[in-house]
A = this chain, B = another copy of it.
Amino acid sequence: MTEAIKVTVWNEGRHEKEHEEVAKVYPNGIHTVIADGLKAHGFTNVRTATLDEPEHGLTDAVLADTDVLLWWGHMAHGDVRDEIVDKVHARVLDGMGLIVLHSGHFSKIFKRLMGSTCNLKWREEGEKERVWVVESGHPIAQGLGEYFELENAEMYGERFDIPAPDTLVFVSWFEGGEVFRSGCCYHRGLGKIFYFRPGHETYPIYYNETVRKVLANAVGWAAPSGGPAPQFGNVKPIEKLGA
């Protein structure tokens, strides 16, 4: 089943070109490392796409052929064209899974889907993060321990201005005194959305084995379920009193 899921990993891909320190950690781009992690967990159908490709690499053909899209962006959210956001939005509501990573909380697509500012507190001091599982029976927690640690992480702190998730899977603890809802599941339309906090452009988060395991679990969870596409609009009565 894992093999059949078609995954597209999207990355802004600017940091890697512009900042040497990012290029050292992710010489071929964050997307390639995320894709490698998924392949290591048995996904064979994984492509990547980046901001500076035509249509940001998200053509109609690519979107139609994608079951789950992962989204990493940070410094260039504003450069993502609205008509591409429209298409991604429509595809999510149509059933495509979406996994929003770290600074993607401020991406156009996530804000569009959430309807709120998606704002938060942050601090970049390489402090320790401990990610706790709070919904142990959820498929995204499969194979994890009760918590996992990231030795050096950017802090994200509450209040995280999102709708309360349908299911809250992870809550993070930070050395400096904050907490954060780090793993948040949503249904929107026919699509499933997972926001996952860990990640950064210079901390090597996406090489972490537990982070990779979570992403693999999340892709499995977010893949389309094959439920009924609703018929909208004016409909005839199926039953009518006295008919």
Contact = CB atoms under 8 A, between A and B. Distances in A.
A178 interface: yes
Nearest to A175: B241
A139 B225 contact: yes
Interface string A149-171: 00000010111110110111001
Contacts of A114: 115
A132 B115 contact: no
Interface in A121-157: 121-123, 125, 127-128, 130, 132-139, 141-146, 155, 157
Contacts of A157: 132, 235
A181 B173 CA distance: 12
A139 B227 CA distance: 7
A135 B171 CA distance: 14
B128 A241 contact: yes
A112 interface: yes
A113 interface: yes
Contact of A123 (B128, B189, B235): B235
Contacts of A175: 237, 239-241
A23 interface: no
A84 interface: no
B173 A136 contact: no
Given A123-B234, A127-B237, A177-B238, A187 B135 contact: yes
A190 interface: yes
Interface residues of A, number: 80
Nearest to A182: B179
Interface in A172-227: 172-179, 181, 186-192, 224-227
Nearest to A109: B115
Given A137-B95, A225-B137, A228-B133, A122 B234 contact: yes
A227 B171 contact: no
B160 A134 contact: yes
Contacts of A143: 226-227
Given A159-B133, A189-B117, A228 B179 contact: no
B136 A232 contact: no
Given A115-B112, A190-B136, A192-B137, A121 B231 contact: yes
Interface of A: 1, 93, 95, 112-117, 119-123, 125, 127-128, 130, 132-139, 141-146, 155, 157-161, 163-164, 166-168, 171-179, 181, 186-192, 224-243
